[in-house]
Amino acid sequence: MKDFSGKIAVITGGGTGMGRALARQLVAEGCDVAMCDVSSSNLTESAAVCEAEAAQGVRLTTFVCDVANEEQMQAFASHVANTFDTQHINLLFNNAGIGGGGSFLKESREQWEKTFNVCWGGVYNGARAFMPMLVASSEGHIINTSSINGLWASTGPQSSHTAYSAAKFAVRGFTEALITDLRLNAPHVKASVVFPGHVGTSIMLNTEVAGGNSAAGARTLLRMMGHPVDTMSDEEVVALSESFGKTFRDNAPTTAAQAAQIILDGVKAEQWRILIGRDAHVLDEQVRLAPEEAYEPEFVARWIGARDTAD
C-alpha cells in the first residue's frame, strides 16, 4: 500500500494524540477516515481539524464508544459499513490506550483490569470487529499500538507497572503471531506493531483506571511513579496528576505528528515492527544486549546513558 488516496481507514482513540495526528495526515492524503473515542468532545475537536485539512471528496465519520466493550466496537463496525456504504476497509489502527493499573499486588482489581481491558482488550475487540472488513479488501493492513513497555515491562526499579506492560506485551505477541496467520489465510492483509517511546500525547491525562478523571485513578498513576500519594488529599492528587500529564505531553522529544508520520511511512514500507523515538530504539538494543539484566536497578542508568549519547 504505497499511498492512501481512495482508501478507508479506521482509527481507535482518534480524539487526541497519535490517533488525531494519524487522522489528519490520512485525510490530507485523500483517505476516508472513521475514528472512535470514548470522549465525544475530543472527537468533535478532531473532526473539525480533519475537515479543515481534508483533501477534496474525503469522507469522515466519528463514533463514541469504549474500545474495551465488544458490543460497542461491533456497533462501530456497523456504523462504518453503513455510513460509508462499504463491506471493506483498508487500514485498521488499533491505537486507543490509557495508562495506569500499577501493581498487581497492591492496586484494586478494578483499576488493574480497566487499564488491561482498554490497552489489550481494545486491540482484540478492534481486530474481531473489523478483520472481516480488512479481509474483504483487495489490500489491507492492521496496525496495533504497543509501547516501549511491550519491549521492557517496567518503568524502573522503584515502581510497579504490571497492567500496562502486560497489555502491551499481549499486543506485541498478538501482532507478531498475526503475521504468519495472515500469510496463511489472508496474504493480502499485512500486520504491524508500533512501539512508541515518549511521544507528546494526552495518555496520562486520559487515564481512567477507576472511571472518569478520578482521584483514585490519579493515585494509582502517581504511586507508580513513586510519589507519596497516601499522605495527599484528593485535590492535591488530581492537581499533581494533571500537572504531570501536561508536562509529559508538552515536553516530549517526539510529537504526535512526527509519530504518526513514522507509522504511516512504516505501513507504506510494509515494516511489521515500527519503533518511534530514539528512546525506543536504544531501549530495544539494550534489552537485546543483556536480557537477563533488564530488570536490575543498574539497567535504567545504562539505558538513559546510551540514549543520551546515541547518534
What residues act catalytically? 164
In three-state secondary structure terms, 110 is helix
Contact 95, 22 (CB under 8 A): yes
Number of helices (H) and strands (E), helices first, in the chain? 11, 9
| Nearest alpha carbon to residue 170 among 136, 145, 207 | 145
Q: Which residues contact 53 (CB under 8 A, 6 or more apart)?
A: 24, 27, 28
In three-state secondary structure terms, 191 is strand
Q: At what angle do helices 121-135 and 109-119 cross, to 10 degrees?
A: 20
Contact 17, 204 (CB under 8 A): no
- The string of DSSP codes covering 196-216 is E-SEE-STTTT--TTSSS-HH
First to last CA, the chain: 31
Classify burial at 154, counting beta carbons within 10 Å of its beta carbon; exposed 0-12, middle 13-18, buried 19 or more.
middle
d(CA 220, CA 105): 12
d(CA 258, CA 167): 24
User: Rounded to an integer, what is the distance from CA 261 to the centroid of its chain?
Assistant: 15
Type of residue at 155: T
d(CA 112, CA 100): 7
Q: Which residues contact 279 (CB under 8 A, 6 or more apart)?
A: 148, 197, 198, 253, 307
